Amino acid sequence: MRADARRNYDKILATARIVFTERGTDASLDEIAKRAGVGPGTLYRHFPTREALVDGLLQDWTDRVSADADAAIATGLPAREMLSDWFEHFIEHITLHRGAASKIAAAMDDPASPMYRKCQVMADANRRVIDHLEARGDLRPSVDPVNVMRLVSGVATVADSSCTDLDVTPMLDVVVDGIVAR
């Protein structure tokens, strides 16, 4: 990528991060282009769809998701605490930008989505935590990591779309109670 194109790319991402934080991921792409000081054509050349722009923002996100899963496993905490901590981090990651949770949840099952590969990183991180607890005998039999990820993503989507600062802990407790061995 040419130096000027790279500068425009970086300006668009930096501006999108601000605008999506202020207004959510459905904010006007034209507004992002204008605030970034580029034309709409430049924005669409780098990011042909809104989903591609969200995906661009999630680039460094994958490293953090993976590191958080490894950190959760390394704690050695009891299952209930480990899952609660992991799920809270998981939700923080997918609600980083208002409106992103539903887009990420939709991309989980769509191989054509630009965000699909990042969703696979998230799925792998979640699977590692679930597999670790299952190997310790801490989970009910046949817990499906993909279904757990969908449940937690649903909680994230509800919290993300709430008009208030919704406490997700009671909802996550229901998920944890449903999968931890008794």
Concatenated DSSP letters of 132-157: HHHHTT-B-TT--HHHHHHHHHHHHH
Q: What is the pLDDT of residues 157-177, one digit of tens each?
A: 898 877 667 788 999 999 999
Q: What is the pLDDT of residues 124-157, one digit of tens each?
A: 999 999 999 999 999 999 999 999 999 999 999 8
**Which CATH number does the domain housing residue 138 bear?**
1.10.357.10
Confidence class of residue 16 from pLDDT cuts 50, 70 and 90? very high
> What burial letters (b/e) apply to 38-48, b meaning 16+ CB within 10 Å?
beeebbeebbe
DSSP codes joined into one string, 88-122: HHHHHHHTSSTTHHHHHHHHTT-TTSTTHHHHHHH
Residues 67 and 136 in one domain: yes
> Is 55 inside any structural domain?
no
pTM value is: 0.74
Range of the domain at 12: 3-49
Distances (CA, A) of 67 to 33, 89, 154, 174: 32, 11, 22, 25
Residues 74 and 143 in one domain: yes
| Number of domains forming the structure of the chain | 2
Closest CA to 97 of 155, 23, 4, 13: 23
**Which CATH number does the domain housing residue 39 bear?**
1.10.10.60
Q: Which of 38-52, 69-83, 90-104, 114-128 has the lowest mean pLDDT?
A: 90-104
Phi–psi pair at 113, nearest 5 degrees: -75, 140
Q: Which of 43-52, 56-65, 108-117, 139-148 has the lowest mean pLDDT?
A: 56-65
Q: What is the pLDDT of residue 76?
A: 94
Q: What is the pLDDT of residues 84-95, one digit of tens each?
A: 999 999 888 888
84, two tokens: 């609660």
Mean per-residue pLDDT of the chain: 89
Q: What is the pLDDT of residue 129?
A: 97
Residues 45 and 68 in one domain: no
Q: What is the pLDDT of residue 60?
A: 67
